[in-house]
Amino acid sequence: MRAHPAGPRHGDEHDHVTHRPVSVAESLRTDNGVWSANVTRDEVSGALTIADHDVRELTEQFGTPLLVMDLDDLRERVQDYQAAFDDPELPTDIYYAGKAFLSVQFARWLADEGLRIDVCTGGELACALRADVPGADLLFHGNNKSPVEIAEAIDAGVGRIVLDSFEDIARVAFAAEQAGVVAPVLVRVTAGVEAHTHEFIATAHEDQKFGFSLAAGDAREAVARVLNLPSLELRGLHSHIGSQIFDASGFEVACARVIGLMAQLRDEFGHEFAELNLGGGLGIKYQPSDQPLSVSEIARDLREIVKRECSARGLPLPRLAFEPGRAIVGPTTCTLYTVGTIKQVATGDGPHRTYVSVDGGMSDNIRTALYDAEYTVTLASRSSDAELMRCRVVGKHCESGDIVVTDAWLPSDLAVDDVLAVAATGAYNRSMASNYNLVPRPPVIAVRPGEIVPLIRRETTDDLFACDLG
C-alpha cells in the first residue's frame, strides 16, 4: 500500500485528464504558467532560451541531462512570497524547505534574499552552515533526529527546533542542558487534515509518522512536558497539512483546530504561544491545466483565517511562519535532455505510442515513477510545425517503469539529437537523484542574462566509485 492518500504523492493529479495541447504551436508555448518567467523561444531559430541563454549553447557547454535554474525567476518568486505575507498586523517568517533542493550557493542566495531555511538532517544543516546562513535563521525538523544531529543543531544556535516525538523532547532538552543553552522549540501537531490540490480530508487521527496527535491528547501532553523543561523555550506550535495544495480550504480546518488547541492550552497552562508555523505545501503548475490559486490569494485567505480564529478565541495574533520548498524552487528549473531513440509501439488500444528515449530518466526524476507525477515537455532545440504525436518520454535505465513524462504530445518530426525540456523540475528531482544503473547524476546550473553560475557539477565515472573499496 502507499502510505498517505495525498502526502507522498506530492501533488500529482490522478483524477484529471493529462493536458493535451490542441496544436503544435500550443505545445511549443512557454507562457502557460508552467515554465519559469524567462523561458522564451527565439523567433529566428525557434530554440528555447532561458534568461537569454540559447539551450543549444547550454547543452553544448554542459551536456545533458542538465538542470537549468532561472535565477531572476527564483528571485521574483521569493519576493512574491514575501510580499504575499507582508502584513504588519501578522508578521511572517518564511523558511525555505531545503529538502526540495539545496546547494551551498543556492542557500546563500536565499539567505541574501531574506529567507530563512528549514533543514531536517545533519547534511542539510551542514549545507546551510557552509553557506554561512546564521544558525538563528535555521529551523530544524525531523521525526528521528539523531543525538549527534541535535547536538550539531544546538551547537549551531539553530533558531527553531521542531519537536516531533516524546523521545525528541527529551533528547533536545538534554542536549540543550548539556550545552548550557535554552533551545527555542515548536511542538508539531497533527490536526487530522490532509490536503492536496483543491481537496482535503479531515479526520480525527492521522496515520503517519510526524508530530503529536491533537485528538489523542498527545499534543497537549507534549506541551505540558516542554513547559516543564527549563532548557526548552516553547515558541509555538507547528502544523503541516499536505503538499501541492491549490487553495486554503484545508488550512481553514487545520487552523481552527490548532488555534483552538492554542486557546485550550492557554486556559490550562496560562501559556501564550508566540508563533504558529503552518508548514509548507503550496502547489505549483506542472501542467497548463493545473489551477493553483496564486500565493498572494492563498496568503490573503490564510491571514484572514488566522485572524478570525484568533479573534474568536480571544488570542493575540501569533507570529506566522511558512516553509515553502516546491513553491519557491519547483517552477524555476527545467531539465534538458537529448533524444536518443524514437520507437513506434502499437498499444493495441488504438493509435501507436511513440517512445522517446532520453539520456537521463528515473535517476534524475524519480517522481514520475514514485508519485505518478505528470510533467510538461517541449521540443527545446528548435521549433516545428509538424503535427503532434502521442508520446511517452522514457529514460535510459534498465527498467520498464523508467518514465519521465507518461503522456506527452510532441511534434511528429521529432528526431534523434533534438533537445527536450521538461518543466518544473526544480523541486525533489535533483535532491532525490540516484546513481541507479551507475548513471552519474546531472549538473545544476543557474542562469541570468549574461551569466551562468554552475551550482552542482556533473558526476564523473570516478565519482561513482568514490566509496567503492574495490
Please give the angle made by the CA atoms of 399, 405 and 407, to the nearest 5 degrees.
110
- CB atoms closer than 10 angstroms to residue 91: 14
- As a whole number of angstroms, the distance between CA 156 and CA 119 comes to 12
Q: Give the closest residue to 140 by CA, choosing from 111, 170, 99, 105.
A: 99
| Shortest spacing between CB 125 and a second copy, in angstroms | 9
Q: Give SS3 for 42.
A: coil
Look up residue 50 and give its three cell numbers.
532561458
DSSP state of 101: -
**Which of 255, 358 has the CB closer to a second copy?**
358
Q: Shortest distance, CB of residue 193 to a second copy, whole angstroms?
A: 13
φ and ψ of 40, to 5 deg: -140, 180
Residue 23 or 146 with smaller CB distance to a second copy: 146
Strands (E), 239-352: 242-245, 275-277, 319-322, 333-345
The candidate with the shortest Cα–Cα distance to 200, out of 129, 249, 135, is 249
H or E element at residue 318: none
Q: Identify which of residues 345 and 386 has a Cβ nearer to a second copy in the complex.
A: 345
Smallest distance from a second copy to CB 197, Å:
16
The distance of closest approach from Cβ of residue 89 to a second copy in the complex, given in angstroms and rounded to an integer, is 31
Closest CB to a second copy among residues 37, 370: 370
- Look at the block and give the residue holding cell 491533537: 214
Cβ pair 101, 431 in contact under 8 A: yes
Closest contact distance (angstroms) between CB of 449 and a second copy is 21
Is there a contact between 97 and 323 (Cβ–Cβ < 8 Å)?
A: yes
> In the complex, what is the shortest distance from the CB of residue 312 to a second copy, in angstroms, rounded to a whole number?
27
Question: Residue 458 carries which DSSP code?
Answer: P
Q: Does 5 sit behind a cis peptide bond, omega within 30 degrees of 0 on the bond before it?
A: no
Instruction: Provide the b/e sequence for 227-266 (b: ≥16 CB within 10 Å).
Output: eebebbbbbbbbbbbbbbbbbbbbbbbbbbbbbbbbbebb
Whole-number minimum distance, CB 138 to a second copy, in Å?
Answer: 14
Place of cell 561513482: 464
Nearer to a second copy, 209 or 297 (CB): 209
467 has catalytic annotation:
no
191: amino acid identity, one letter: A
Q: Which residue, 207 or 297, is less far from a second copy as judged by CB?
A: 207
- Which of the residues 120, 334, 391, 398 is marked catalytic? 398
Residue nearer to a second copy on the CB measure, 84 or 403: 403
Let me know: does 445 contact 66? Beta carbons within 8 Å. Answer: yes
Q: Which residues participate in catalysis according to the annotation?
A: 398
